[in-house]
Amino acid sequence: MNTQILAPATVLILWTLVMLVWMAATRLPAMAKMGPAAMAKPGSRGVDLEGVIADRINWKAHNYAHLMEQPTLFYAVVVILAMLGVGSEIAIGLAWTYVASRIVHSLWQASVNTIPIRLAIFAIGSLCLLGLAVIAAMAALS
């Protein structure tokens, strides 16, 4: 098993937890300022805060949700590569580039959030993920 390929996944997990803390650190004070108006009814979800607190504050939550979506494929492909013993420089480079793109995407979405730039950053990461998936498929099928 090649464990070097697991390092980028570990960093992305840590980054996701940073975004969770950033989300809480901005949302909770905003909700407290609004008082009972921001307190949702029992059983409500974070999405119920849309339109209640400022969009700029919700951007952190949007990004945290995004880190629960496509990166799940990244985690799976990295585990597959590790189990297959794939640790080529190309695979490791793609994995680190994917993680870097997700961190830049998070920072952009949480602070500036203009769509064309965010889409370009997302596309870079998606291409890296595609490359990793192809490498994993080739290794698994050979």
Q: What is the pLDDT of residues 96-133, one digit of tens each?
A: 999 999 999 999 999 999 999 999 999 999 999 999 99
Any domain includes 31 = no
Give the residue from 74, 124, 77 showing the smallest Cα distance to 104.
124
- Is residue 73 included in any domain, yes or no? yes
**Structural domains counted in the chain:** 1
Q: Which domain holds residue 80?
A: 6-18+58-141
Mean of all residue pLDDT scores within the chain: 92
pLDDT at 38: 59
Q: Determine contact, residues 98/128, Cβ cutoff 8 Å.
A: yes
Whether the per-residue pLDDT at 37 is higher than 70: the answer is: no
In a domain, 49, yes or no: no
Per-residue model confidence as pLDDT tens digits over 39-69 = 666 666 677 677 778 899 999 999 999 999 9
67 found inside a domain? yes
Give me the pLDDT at residue 44, please. 66
On whether residue 24 sits in a domain, the answer given is no
* Assigned domain for 46 exists: no
Asked whether residue 37 is assigned to any structural domain, the reply reads no
Q: Is 32 a domain residue?
A: no
